[in-house]
């Protein structure tokens, strides 16, 4: 089987794929409604939250758009912390819908600086909200969200977090850290195919929602809340198969235990980083903040990162990711989140050893 | 197996479910990109169009929101023709995003009157666009879209059509009839699970798009066009499984042939209507415009429509739909679109014969 080592979609366990292949049922019927309620409750446990949790049919980016339009009015001042492609995307969504966005950027490969966030908030008390990416898939960096959340807390701002590629693999206790709007996507830690965004909204998030004037219909959290309260429904026909699959995946995750899952990702992240360094490669990310779900590797010493990915795919049946936007051709990325074990990471490292020289590595550059 | 006779999600053929259960692949890789291109081309054949066609990850309602925000600016005058729940929904989406919407309503159960549309356009030359539902699932009525399109054509307005529960089962030649923005959903005629909206945009639709100022990011057609042109990509991670399943379903549909599919639905629609009338039931819809994808039946002569659906489900393993909004409890609906044959409709009629008296029918009312 292909070793799909991209940062999502991740491979799915057979039990999950089997649920994906189930025959359709009435999305307004008792069995499905019970499943929606059950999935919602299990997600709350994985999110470590008592907040409202909703299933939205769409990609992670749809979930981000939902978070923005449910929280802000045009003209609202928002501090958008960006450390890569997905941080920029979040800022762009807010700008598109009319927010007055200040983007606080870090050099790519580096995390956000909590002190710089503090300085921005001190500098402009009219800022209403802080938006931040927990794990930046494009650079392989995990922000220190706990410290960022603690830094923001005294200012009483709304805290909106893109946790698409973190929560469920990397620790993110939503309530303890006071995250007001959190977004994730089915095809990441959750071991199911793409098609579903999952969001959690705090009481403060609901207060913002009540005043938020950005136009919303499909993504409206208030409609989602009303439908869920109506026995476990969704306002619109949902991605039935993905929800059935998520139900199965969540049982597997609860059986493994959140702490064990997080520990597995810590171990796999470390193993990947140690492995690529032992091959003489350089990490793109600041190692102190390197992600445990995706490792970005610099195309140093003659390495043609695009050629490498082609060789890995064609000769070893291992699928890696390239760089995005300005990092295209400059890095390659190894995904190690969701349904993944040491053997699969080991296979990547073994293949890299023979593939790297074929892709120019060691030729000097 | 449960006889799922609701107007979507419809049952899926085993080949389609098997594709739903396929292991994940790289959504930026060659195999998947080829599939996106192939699905897009096959859809064009089924839509009878050379217009641009895009796959959007979301429900049908998401596709409707996409159609609206890609076509209009706040303040644009729009004539929204509504003959039921879904027509009202389309009008509400446009209102939510700031359009100046005039709703032209028909009595529920009746189709839209092309002459009334003509009168509205004559009455207010500042109207920029006409929005209409082709097949109204809530009342079981199919509008005479050909005549409506011909009526609108001389006025040179943008014509936006909700074809979610029609196209692919009911004839809708997008180019011949001059539909500028057409929306459908995977869980209807297409025999695949929900999670994907499919849209077609004409040259005039693109002209409107270029001037449309409603905010859009996730649903942006221009981004979809750019990504598709980039080898068959989507701007955001798509519902991979549903696209793989749609590829298989479209092959089956092309093999049956669009004309044969349409003829099958005409036959099944007629069979359902004749069958329920033979049982002494009354159709809710004006029979001259009764839908060939869903039949709405009035709860006359003592019939408790909710009790009937419960009996059908629990005693006969047949799942029907109830009425929506103000029709709740007053009608029941039989879905006969997508993967359905005469035997399955016959089974419904046979079961109804014994179930109806148990649900009060014939008790006089």
Give the pLDDT score at A311: 98
Q: Return the HEC string of chain B.
A: CCEECCCCCCCCCHHHHHHHCCCCCCCCCHHHHHHHHHHHHHHHHHHCCCCEEEEEECCHHHHHHHHHHCCCCCCCEEEEEECCHHHHHHHHHHHHCCCEEEEEECCCCCCCCHHHHHHHHHHCCCCCEEEEECEECCCCEECCHHHHHHHHHHHCCEEEEECCCCECCECCCHHHHCCCEEEEECCCCCCCCCCEEEEEECHHHHHHHHHCCCCCCCCCHHHHHHHHHCCCCCCCCCCHHHHHHHHHHHHHHHHHCHHHHHHHHHHHHHHHHHHHHHCCCEECCCHHHECCCEEEEECCCCCCHHHHHHHHHHHHCEECEECCHHHCCCEEEEECCCCCCHHHHHHHHHHHHHHHHHCCCCCCC
Give the pLDDT score at B364: 59
Give the pLDDT score at B195: 98
Give the pLDDT score at A147: 98
Give the pLDDT score at B21: 98
**Is A184 within 8 Å of chain B by CB?**
no
Residues from chain A contacting residue B21 (CB–CB below 8 Å): 17-18, 20-21
Over its length of 365 residues, how does chain B's per-residue pLDDT go in tens digits? 899 999 999 999 999 999 999 999 999 999 999 999 999 999 999 999 999 999 999 999 999 999 999 999 999 999 999 999 999 999 999 999 999 999 999 999 999 999 999 999 999 999 999 999 999 999 999 999 999 999 999 999 999 999 999 999 999 999 999 999 999 999 999 999 999 999 999 999 999 999 999 999 999 999 999 999 999 999 999 999 999 999 999 999 999 999 999 999 999 999 999 999 999 999 999 999 999 999 999 988 999 999 999 999 999 999 999 999 999 999 999 999 999 999 999 999 999 999 999 999 998 54
What stretches of A91-225 adopt beta strand conformation (E)? 100-105, 129-133, 135-136, 141-142, 158-162, 181-185, 196-201
Rounded mean pLDDT of A40-50?
A: 98
Contact A63, A164 (CB under 8 A): yes
- Are A18 and B23 inside 8 Å of each other by CB? no
pLDDT tens for A131-165 read: 999 999 999 999 999 999 999 999 999 999 999 99
What's chain A's average pLDDT? 97
Give the pLDDT score at B1: 85
Rounded to a whole number, what is the distance in Å from the CA of B24 to chain A's nearest CA? 5
Residues from chain B contacting residue A224 (CB–CB below 8 Å): none
Interface of B with A in 50-109 (CB under 8 A): 57-62, 65, 92-93, 96-98
- Are B60 and A236 inside 8 Å of each other by CB? yes
CA-based nearest residue in chain A for residue B197: A58
**Is A185 within 8 Å of chain B by CB?**
yes
- Are A236 and B92 inside 8 Å of each other by CB? no
Give the pLDDT score at A1: 85
**Is A230 within 8 Å of chain B by CB?**
no
Rounded to a whole number, what is the distance in Å from the CA of A365 to chain B's nearest CA? 28
Cα B78 from Cα B88, distance rounded (Å) = 13
- Are B237 and A11 inside 8 Å of each other by CB? no
Q: For testing the chain B interface, which of A27, A185, A217 should be mutated: the one with the most B CBs within 10 Å?
A: A217
Instruction: Flag whether the pTM goes above 0.80.
Output: yes
Cα B204 from Cα A202, distance rounded (Å) = 43
Q: Which residue of B17, B93, B217 is in closest CB contact with A96?
A: B217
CA-based nearest residue in chain B for residue A68: B217
- Long-range pairs of A111-119 with CB within 8 A, sequence gap ≥ 24: A111/A83, A111/A141, A111/A142, A111/A143, A111/A144, A111/A286, A111/A289, A112/A81, A112/A83, A112/A143, A112/A144, A112/A148, A114/A144, A114/A147, A114/A148, A114/A150, A114/A151, A115/A151, A117/A79, A117/A81, A117/A148, A117/A151, A117/A152, A118/A151
ipTM, two decimals, is: 0.98
Contact B245, B16 (CB under 8 A): yes
Does position A365 have pLDDT exceeding 80, yes or no?
no
pLDDT tens for A85-119 read: 999 999 999 999 999 999 999 999 999 999 999 99
Give the pLDDT score at A364: 59
Give the pLDDT score at A363: 83
DSSP A20-64: HTSPP--TTSHHHHHHHHHHHHHHHHHHT--SEEEEEES-HHHHH
């Amino acid at each position: 089987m292909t070793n799909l080592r991209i940062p999502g979609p991740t491979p799915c366990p057979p039990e999950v794929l089997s649920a994906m292949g189930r025959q359709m049922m009435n999305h307004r019927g008792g069995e499905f409604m019970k499943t929606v309620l059950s999935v919602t409750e299990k997600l709350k446990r994985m999110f470590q939250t008592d907040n409202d949790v909703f299933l939205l049919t769409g990609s992670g980016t749809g979930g981000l758009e939902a978070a923005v339009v449910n929280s802000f009015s045009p003209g609202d001042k928002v501090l958008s912390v960006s450390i890569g492609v997905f941080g920029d995307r979040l800022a762009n969504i807010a700008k598109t819908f009319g927010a007055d966005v200040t983007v606080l950027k870090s050099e790519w490969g580096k995390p956000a600086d909590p002190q710089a966030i503090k300085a921005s908030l001190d500098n402009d008390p009219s800022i209403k909200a802080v938006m931040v990416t927990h794990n930046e898939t494009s650079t392989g960096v995990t922000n220190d969200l706990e410290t960022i959340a603690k830094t923001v807390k005294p200012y009483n701002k709304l805290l909106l977090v893109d946790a698409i590629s973190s929560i469920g693999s990397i620790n993110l206790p939503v309530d303890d850290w006071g995250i007001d709007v959190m977004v994730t996507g089915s095809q990441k830690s959750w071991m199911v195919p793409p098609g579903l965004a999952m969001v959690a909204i705090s009481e403060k998030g609901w207060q913002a929602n009540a005043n938020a004037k950005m136009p919303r219909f499909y993504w409206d959290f208030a409609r989602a809340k009303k439908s869920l309260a109506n026995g476990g429904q969704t306002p619109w026909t949902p991605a039935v198969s993905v929800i059935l699959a998520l139900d199965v995946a969540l049982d597997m995750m609860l059986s493994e235990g959140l702490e064990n899952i997080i520990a597995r990702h810590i171990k796999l992240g470390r193993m990947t980083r140690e492995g690529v360094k032992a091959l003489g490669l350089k990490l793109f990310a600041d190692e102190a903040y390197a992600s445990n779900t995706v490792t970005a590797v610099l195309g140093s010493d003659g390495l043609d990162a695009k050629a490498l990915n082609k060789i890995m795919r064609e000769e070893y049946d291992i699928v890696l990711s390239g760089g995005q936007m300005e990092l295209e051709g400059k890095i390659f990325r190894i995904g190690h989140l969701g349904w993944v074990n040491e053997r699969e990471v080991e296979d990547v490292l073994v293949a890299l050893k023979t593939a790297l020289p074929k892709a120019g590595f060691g030729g000097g550059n």
